[in-house]
Every structure is written in structure tokens, then in C-alpha cells.
Amino acid sequence: MSAALPPGTAAPWQPAGTVYGVLLNFEHEHTLWRPRMLEAPYQAPPQAPVLYIKTANTWNPDGGQVTVPADAPGVEAGATLGLVRDAQGQWAAALLNDFSLPHDSYFRPPVKYRCRDGFLGTPAALRPLGSLAELATLSLSVHVNGELRQSVDLGRLRRDAATLWADVNDFMTLRPGDVLMLGCDVAADGGRPLLRPGDTVELSAPGFAPLRHHLSAEEARA
């Protein structure tokens, strides 16, 4: 049973629906991996957004712990924003950390790399939006132990927030409460900030409260 919240403290936000991630939605990421898109079995770049799901066991509120498996070199940070639309059509955004284990598959990443317990850092609250156009000028910062390790420019999305939402809804219906993440950019080598036990990672963006998580080592099995 979880501990009771102090009087007057609001419960942290959690997704009310399904959380969808998207791959290859940054210009650099797409360019870097384009040669592999031309290989079998696909032999062409994807025409529609490439989606995956972050299951409910991954949700990890601000200030939580993320476990690094003993057989993994570390955990990658994935700074992103999630779009949320309510039943009244109002937009909001969530600052999210889409943690994953390093892997070498972009089209069909195995669930075990992305859906481990605690592998989606979620904020205490959403930020209401007047329109999705507000997001185009935002930059997300990733600090590890206080050091800036990555800046993510949302102006370099292949599909901006409004286009991505529309293109996904062309083939499936996003319901009120569902979360659609915009994607996670990569460094020049194709990787993302690698986190190890003992690290603290903080995401920040203008208008959003910082999102922090601490990395710990997996306990040895008896």
C-alpha cells in the first residue's frame, strides 16, 4: 500500500489512457538511420508514424527511482513531450522521460528494452496549451548530475505536434486521456544520454516544472 499524501497535497498526474511513443520523428535521427531503412525487409522509409506503447507498469512519478539491470551498460534518457487532449478538446502537454535500454532496432524495438518497470518518468502536473503551435519553439534540456548532456530542439521534428496528431488519427483514433509522445532526439552517434547507478537525471523546459529521477542498481538475486 502506498503512503498517504500530506493533507492538501494533490496526487501526481498519471496518464488516463494509453501512452504512445513515436520513432524517427527528428530530422537527425531519421537521416542517421535512413540507410538501414532501405535494407530488407522494408527497403523504404516508413510512410506513417512508427509507434510503440509504454505500458502502465512503466509510469514513474517525478522523484522516483529507475533501476539499471545488472546485465545492461546503463539506461538511456529520452527527453520528450507528450500531447494530451481531454473530452472537451482542450490541449495539454506533459514533460516525460522515455527511458530505454540501449538497443539496435528502430522499427520493432523489443518490449523488454522500453517497457521495464519504471521506464516512463511522469510529471506532477500537465501544462495547459492554447494550441499545439506553442511547442514549436521549445527546447528540452537533459542534465545528469547537474551537467548539461543534451538539448532537444522541438523545431527539428519531422512532423510537428499538430501534424503528428493528425497523421496518427488517420489510421487509429486517439481517445481523450491518451498520450502521444513527440519522439526522442539522438546525438551524433545515434545514442542518447547514458545513465548509470548513482546518477540523477533532470529534464527541464520553459514553462514546465523540472522532472527528476534517480538511477539505482538492480538488486542481486538470491
Query: pLDDT tens, 20-55?
Result: 999 889 988 888 777 777 777 778 888 889 899 999
75-112, pLDDT tens digit by residue? 999 999 999 999 999 999 999 999 999 977 665 656 78
- The Cα–Cα gap between 14 and 18 comes to 11
pLDDT of the residue at 5? 47
pLDDT at res. 190: 79
- Which grid cell sits at 39? 535494407
Residue 70 pLDDT > 50: yes
The whole-number pLDDT of residue 4 equals 47
pLDDT tier at 220 (50, 70, 90 boundaries)? Answer: low
37 and 188 Cβ atoms separated by less than 8 Å: no
Fold of the CATH domain 19-217 = Fumarylacetoacetate hydrolase; domain 2 (3.90.850)
H-run or E-run covering 212 = strand 211-217
Chain centroid to Cα 218, Å, comes to 22
Give mean pLDDT, residues 191-217. 97
**How many residues belong to the chain?**
222
Flag the least confident range among 36-40, 121-125, 135-139, 201-205: 36-40
pTM: 0.91
C-alpha cell at 12: 501526481
